[in-house]
Amino acid sequence: MADEEFRDAALAAIYDALDPDRGDLDAYVGAVGEFGARSVLDVGCGTGVFALLLAERGVEVVALDPAEASLAVARGKPGAGRVRWIHGDATALPRLRVDAATMTANVAQAIARPGDWHNTLRGVHAALRPGGRLIFETRDPAGRAWREWNRDASRSVTDVPGVGAVESWVQLLDVNGPLVTFLWSYVFVADGRTLTSRSTLRFRQRDEIEADLTAHGYVVEDVRDAPDRPGREFVFVARRP
């Protein structure tokens, strides 16, 4: 199930305004071009920012997400008619043969349950054409990114058009082995309403991910650095033979 920030309509509506800098997607746009992909499956598409970037460039995009509220935001954007939006996870995919599949913005870590993770890798593999590639990122556990997830470091106030000021911050709740749980809080200043979103991410080791990919029939072609976050992320490129 998607976290509240994606499935709550009020939070989904402000998601883009609270995270307007999507320079992290440049590397994915570049990879789609690098591999000559003309069709892409965007897993965990959220509010559709990446899917629409590709569609603007003439790429055929299938965008998948389990949060209907996020998809509603995506479907309301200019150019949304160029994208095929699907509500669900990788087990709900129709028959596809895409050139590439992506999981941007640490979507892979949000698939925290082992069964869900393996089902995702299996479903994406079936959707790729032979020679197609899965491209995704995940934080390097060695960086212990969660140490920065506290109110003092994350607090911000954003003026959201049509909504007004929204104060937001994150609070670390628990670190249990590879699982990190945290809570986002959002205060709508105009009416004092507070909404929260609890999330758990799985921080997988590089060799664990490589083993999972191999077990599901992929060939790991490359493990790259995220150009906008050097030394903090693994970016995997895995091919279906």
Residue pLDDT tens, the chain, 241 long: 679 999 999 999 999 999 999 999 999 999 999 999 999 999 999 999 999 999 999 999 999 999 999 999 999 999 999 999 999 999 989 999 999 999 999 999 999 999 999 999 999 999 999 999 999 999 999 999 999 999 999 999 999 999 999 999 999 999 999 999 999 999 999 999 999 999 999 999 999 999 999 999 999 999 999 999 999 999 999 999 9
CA–CA gap between residue 240 and residue 37 (Å, rounded): 14
Sheet (strand 179-188) strand order? 156-160, 164-176, 179-188, 193-202
DSSP 20-71: ---GGGHHHHHHHHHTT-SEEEEET-TTSHHHHHHHHTT-EEEEEES-HHHH
Q: Of 167, 137, 140, which Cα lies nearest the Cα of 154?
A: 167
The two three-digit tokens of residue 62, written as one number:
């299938």
- pTM, whole model, 2 decimals? 0.96
